[in-house]
Structure 1
Amino acid sequence: MKVRIGQAASEEEASAIAAALAEHVGDSVEVYAGDDDELVASHEVTDSGDDAPAETDDLGPTEREEKIREEIADIEAGGPKKYRDRLEEQGKLFVRDRLDLWFGDEDDADGTSGETGSGAAGGIHFEDGKFANFDAWHPDGTDGSEDDGDRLPGDGLLTGAAEFEGRDLHFMANDFTVKAGSMAEKGVEKFLRMQQRALKSGRPVLYLMDSSGARIDQQRGFFANREGIGKYYYNHSMLSGRVPQICVLYGPCIAGAAYTPVFSDFTVMVEGVSAMAIASPRMVKMVTGEDIDMQDLGGAKVHAEHSGSADLVARDEEHARELVAQLVTYLPDSADDDPPRSEPKPPKLSPQGIDSVIPESPNKGYDMEDLIDRVVDSGSYFPLQRDYGEEIITAFARIDGRPVGIVANQPAHRAGAIFPDAAEKAAGFIWTCDAYNIPLLYLCDTPGFMAGSQVEKDAILEKGKKFIYATSSATVPKQTVVARKAYGAGIYAMGGPAYDPESTIALPSGEIAVMGPEAAINAVYRRKIDEIDDEAERERFVEEKREEYRHDIDAHRMASEVVIDDIVPPSELRDELAARFAFYEGVEKELPDKKHGTIL
């Protein structure tokens, strides 16, 4: 390194400058005076070797630094000890043990990082707002006693960024030892900041919820404010379809807290522990007189089987993590990205058996999962909302390593007819897949939408409309397979030829019709049938018309008229789909130029 100094500098000054600069920059220095080219002084840096010990000094942590470390340890100890002691009997982890489970090193993934779990989890990049509300509960002169019921460390909410299964994401977690995980002014501000940062970063958000709702006795400053708790749901709406939002419930989430799970893209509940409801059992009794416990009001079974608000149900905290770890393998970081690819695997069962799985009779039931197991990569089948609207399967899977979203009729339940709950379930799943660039595979075997007074009361037309709308507006690659029957508007909802799929293919057992043979014959020939007195002759007539009708709706007729693209030998279905998804993975589709549709 060469430097120039003033002409009037002495040789001694030049030497001092050379030595000081060399030590500072770690390189040899040559000093020249004024414009002269004659070297005045220099200093060489001696290489002492890679193994030389670093220069040390006697400086260490000051009393000020030690104090801040003590304060952090106190914050990380959570709320009053008596509340932490109750967690085990409630079947829950302390929040920092929970973070260790989710983000810690493998050795720490059992949630046993110490008495209070205050050891930093290896996968947490940083935590924001740790000192939130610090002055309110731990001012100078107090000792932050364990028995202090007013302890509010972090204001009961933890937020930050972490690495989960190799993916960077934002997280929030309620501390149930602080006022039952309730939400108040500073915690709300932390929550909002985390959401707003996720919008900027384009990274997923993980909500680890365990909250009794708003802190009613401290509602000023956060409930109705422009930047208050109501903004949670505005931000949820802005994040929706931008980045995946995944919520895991670890306790009763009541009132405002219950909206975060239902606003999220995916909700996981834990058996016997999780619950969510618009009001607590006590409030329900006060308002309606109904006496009900928390699990019957809004437990995992209620939301998995009846409301459809739970996508997955875990046995315990560890299982919840396992489910989410599998879920994220199908999801991109944001709507700008493609879903991650995996190494292809052969299917669990041989594709050679596909045709044997499907009965000859269109009215005989079978399990669609037997067909799916012969098409998708082994171990990749991941169903969602399994116990809700069971006549339709919604699941992630992979075909030749590519993630796909499967929408499949399930003849093993209610003959695969589409009921209102199944239509709503399918619409939401299609909408989510389209948001995150996950191609769609429709496996169609349905007699159509269910008829009857009860389904009309349950809004079959409204919910069926949403199903058809979601299929219509999805711009990801779509492949439709007519496995057996595709009757009525069922073929519309299931991505039929009119709905811009990249392909509509059929198996030899496929049929497409306005209605099934029995209903059609009854509609067209009812009077003629009634006029035939001889029973044997009447049966012959009906069978003749049935066969004529089935010939008319057979897949061969549809292929002959180029209504469908091909009839595929069943044992080749997996290879056919793999080739088509590979070919169309970059397809571009456009929707009409409009602000948005009006059908949700």
Structure 2
Amino acid sequence: MDVRVADTTTEEATAIARALATRFGERVRVFAGRGEGEPIAESDPPDGAEPSGAEATADAEAGPTEREERLWDEIADIRAGGPEKYRQRQREAGKLFVRDRLDLWFPDGLTFEDGTFANFDAWHPSAPDTEESDDRLPADGLLTGAADFEGRAVHFMANDYTVKAGSMAEKGVEKFLRMQERALKTGRPVLYLMDSSGGRIDQQTGFFANREGIGKFYYNHSRLSGRVPQVCVLYGPCIAGAAYTPVFADFTVMVEGSAMAIASPRMVEMVTGEEISMDDLGGPAVHAAESGSADLVAADEGEARSLVARLLSYLPDNADADPPRTEGRAPAESPEGIDSVVPEARRKGYDVRTLLDRIADERSVLELKPDFGSEIVTAFARLDGRPVGVVANQPAVRAGAIFPDSAAKAAEFVWTCDAYGIPLLYLCDTPGFMAGSGVEKEGILEQGKKMIYATSAATVPKQCVVVRKAYGAGIYAMSGPAYDTESTLGLPGAEIAIMGPEAAINAVYARKLAEVDDPAERERREAELREEYREGIDVHRMASDVVIDELVPPSTLREELVGRFDFYETVEKDRPDKKHGTIL
């Protein structure tokens, strides 16, 4: 069989020859372009391969017809993607060609692909009234379909950056919309593998502002939100309209070298006069640490796939399904050492991750947005195989006080966990919400409100552990006793109060203490007042007054949490009958 394809590399031609030889059981030669010349690749069928049609009756002609062979030639040409020079640029940028990327994600192959021939008549040399040119538009630059990913059936879309820089036009938009709408019907997760310069400006008629145009991407994102997990991976620049898909997705992974921004650096300079690189405008460092739009950053394409595999392992297929459980594992560190991890001194910092190492199953903690709002740790983890969402104050960063960014991060995480039925574990060790003119301007009240609202509205089982201090409205945001929490547990030395002893003494007794002339006497009296205050807020008093449900020995904390999450697994909570709240 002889096959002719448009401009291609020897490696791609060899792959095409091998695939067709295996399918049809005969020798295949691949030629470049329309002209004469030597084949650039050829392949014999593997041993034992039989020609298609070998089981037909003896008087029937074996093998595919010439008409089918022409179709396979067209498919092979489409799968070769855009012009070779653009494929070469992808390689130079350290990025995979989109179909090689799909091979990485789905090594067993696709379940199916939709719209392979999208826009075929507009560009293909075999189409009527067209000529072969450098302006190739195979699949209209956007691939959609379904595949098996780590044992899960998923929908996918992937931009082909070799076609007009991954830009989107009418036929590709139609494919994208159909994929989203089918996901609503199937209730299966969606993967967006993004590498797009945005809408195809020179072909915007028919897709930009139409009822079924690119704007409906985000309408469908909104309908899918909380219904099925949407995960987006960024491989290159995603500009303008393309940048909304990653921020609408439930989770976004940025590969180093990728970027997302509302406009390109060229457009920014034209509008504002600012000269800036793509990386400084919207690279991973910007969105991981400053905007909070990136949940995770991957060093390369392989790590991105691994991170998404871990991420989906905590999530159900849809809001009606249960989160997947695994075999439980012991923690990386013994729970016996929990009490030694938490310092007795309330002001001494420590890394709350060391506490998680003694509570969660080994290697089960996946932290999201670690560099954004890092006063709070948000992470998925497992307790005896059960997925849980962890919201933990981080005393190692600004004493674990809650700032606007960390409040916003926690609110979004709680909201997402509740949407997909993932129980919540709060580890409370905070002096409360930060005060000051700076945080007021940054919206501490607005963001704090959202965190408290998300905690209040969540209907999944919740447990709160007062690890050390719970001052001010921090106990509210961290799902304290008033927030329909299944359990509020305390560790030895924990305190719950409007404010810490030092601040309280200063607020209530500052004037009286100032009247004591002798410094030694003033210091003695101040220490005495602190101790009296501490007696009223100590965890033993809280347990005695049944403010908390139980004061537990630290070494039993993991056991307590596992048992309580098991017991409350099927709890149902009623919420007021209304359309929705107005806070988020």
- Compute the TM-score of the two structures, normalised by the length of structure 2: 0.89
- What is the match of residue 218 of structure 2? 233
Contact kept, 8 Å, 1:351 with 1:574, in 2: the verdict is: yes
Q: Distance in 2 between matches of 1:144 and 1:394?
A: 55
Offset of residue 266 of structure 1:
0.2
- What is the match of residue 183 of structure 1? 168
- What is the match of residue 37 of structure 1? none
- What is the match of residue 98 of structure 1? 101
Q: Distance in 1 between matches of 2:493 and 2:109?
A: 51
- What is the match of residue 571 of structure 2? 587
1:574 aligns with 2:565: no
Offset of residue 496 of structure 1:
0.3
> Any idea what SS the aligned residue of 2:206 has?
coil
- What is the match of residue 86 of structure 1? 89
Q: Distance in 1 between matches of 2:237 and 2:482?
A: 45
Between Structure 1 and Structure 2, whose CA radius of gyration is higher? 1
- What is the match of residue 128 of structure 1? 114
Counterpart among 103, 125, 136 of residue 151 in structure 1? 136
> Any idea what SS the aligned residue of 2:569 has?
coil
Contact kept, 8 Å, 1:423 with 1:467, in 2: the verdict is: yes
Offset of residue 89 of structure 1:
1.1
1:488 aligns with 2:472: yes
Question: Kindly tell me: are residues 475 and 92 of structure 1, through their superposed partners in 2, closer, same or farther at Cα, counting changes over 3 Å?
Answer: same
- What is the match of residue 47 of structure 2? none
Offset of residue 148 of structure 1:
2.5
Contact kept, 8 Å, 1:153 with 1:178, in 2: the verdict is: yes
Q: Distance in 1 between matches of 2:269 and 2:526?
A: 59
> Any idea what SS the aligned residue of 1:498 has?
coil
Describe how 1:199-348 pairs up with structure 2 within 5 A: 199-271=184-256, 273-348=257-332
AA at the equivalent of 2:284: A
Structure 1: 5+ residue stretches without partners: 1-52, 105-121
Question: Kindly tell me: are residues 480 and 460 of structure 1, through their superposed partners in 2, closer, same or farther at Cα, counting changes over 3 Å?
Answer: same
AA at the equivalent of 1:455: V
Offset of residue 142 of structure 1:
7.4
Offset of residue 88 of structure 1:
1.2
> Any idea what SS the aligned residue of 2:92 has?
coil
Counterpart among 524, 534, 540 of residue 550 in structure 1? 534
Offset of residue 143 of structure 1:
11
When the two chains are superposed, the root-mean-square deviation of aligned CA atoms in Å is 1.2
Deviation by residue 1:344-390 (Cα, 9 ceiling, x = unmatched)? 00000000110011111111101101101000000101000000000
Q: Distance in 1 between matches of 2:98 and 2:160?
A: 5
Question: Kindly tell me: are residues 55 and 91 of structure 1, through their superposed partners in 2, closer, same or farther at Cα, counting changes over 3 Å?
Answer: closer
Contact kept, 8 Å, 2:121 with 2:127, in 1: the verdict is: no
AA at the equivalent of 2:525: F
Counterpart among 62, 65, 80 of residue 77 in structure 1? 80
- What is the match of residue 35 of structure 2? none
> Any idea what SS the aligned residue of 2:482 has?
helix
Q: Distance in 1 between matches of 2:489 and 2:314?
A: 25
> Any idea what SS the aligned residue of 2:470 has?
strand
Q: Distance in 1 between matches of 2:125 and 2:227?
A: 41
AA at the equivalent of 1:472: S
Deviation by residue 1:539-562 (Cα, 9 ceiling, x = unmatched)? 111100111111110111111111
Deviation by residue 1:511-541 (Cα, 9 ceiling, x = unmatched)? 1000011110000001011001111101111
Contact kept, 8 Å, 2:167 with 2:198, in 1: the verdict is: yes
Runs of 4+ displaced beyond 3 Å:
53-59, 139-145
AA at the equivalent of 1:232: F
AA at the equivalent of 1:310: A
Q: Distance in 2 between matches of 1:409 and 1:383?
A: 13
Q: Distance in 1 between matches of 2:129 and 2:254?
A: 38
- What is the match of residue 7 of structure 1? none
Offset of residue 129 of structure 1:
0.5
Describe how 1:407-446 pairs up with structure 2 within 5 A: 407-446=391-430
Q: Distance in 2 between matches of 1:548 and 1:365?
A: 25
Offset of residue 173 of structure 1:
0.1
- What is the match of residue 31 of structure 2? none
Offset of residue 510 of structure 1:
1.1
Q: Distance in 2 between matches of 1:183 and 1:382?
A: 33
AA at the equivalent of 2:120: F
AA at the equivalent of 1:202: G
Offset of residue 441 of structure 1:
0.1
Offset of residue 123 of structure 1:
3.4
- What is the match of residue 385 of structure 2? 401
Contact kept, 8 Å, 1:74 with 1:144, in 2: the verdict is: no
Offset of residue 140 of structure 1:
3.5
Q: Distance in 2 between matches of 1:319 and 1:83?
A: 24
Deviation by residue 1:417-467 (Cα, 9 ceiling, x = unmatched)? 000000000000000000000000000000000000000000000000000
AA at the equivalent of 2:270: M
Q: Distance in 1 between matches of 2:126 and 2:551?
A: 78
Q: Distance in 1 between matches of 2:209 and 2:545?
A: 61
1:464 aligns with 2:448: yes
Q: Distance in 1 between matches of 2:330 and 2:483?
A: 30
Describe how 1:495-574 pairs up with structure 2 within 5 A: 495-574=479-558
Contact kept, 8 Å, 2:120 with 2:139, in 1: the verdict is: yes
Percent identical pairs in the alignment equals 75
Deviation by residue 1:110-158 (Cα, 9 ceiling, x = unmatched)? xxxxxxxxxxxx231000001000000015367998x822210010000
- What is the match of residue 66 of structure 1? 69
Q: Distance in 2 between matches of 1:509 and 1:100?
A: 54
- What is the match of residue 380 of structure 1? 364
Contact kept, 8 Å, 1:377 with 1:401, in 2: the verdict is: yes
AA at the equivalent of 2:503: A
Offset of residue 59 of structure 1:
3.2
Offset of residue 55 of structure 1:
6.3
1:359 aligns with 2:343: yes
Q: Distance in 2 between matches of 1:463 and 1:329?
A: 29
- What is the match of residue 123 of structure 2? 137
Describe how 1:5-16 pairs up with structure 2 within 5 A: none
Offset of residue 216 of structure 1:
0.4
Deviation by residue 1:221-246 (Cα, 9 ceiling, x = unmatched)? 00000000000000000000000000
Contact kept, 8 Å, 1:80 with 1:148, in 2: the verdict is: no
AA at the equivalent of 2:433: F
> Any idea what SS the aligned residue of 2:313 has?
helix
Q: Distance in 2 between matches of 1:201 and 1:380?
A: 29
Structure 2: 5+ residue stretches without partners: 1-53
Q: Distance in 2 between matches of 1:432 and 1:391?
A: 19
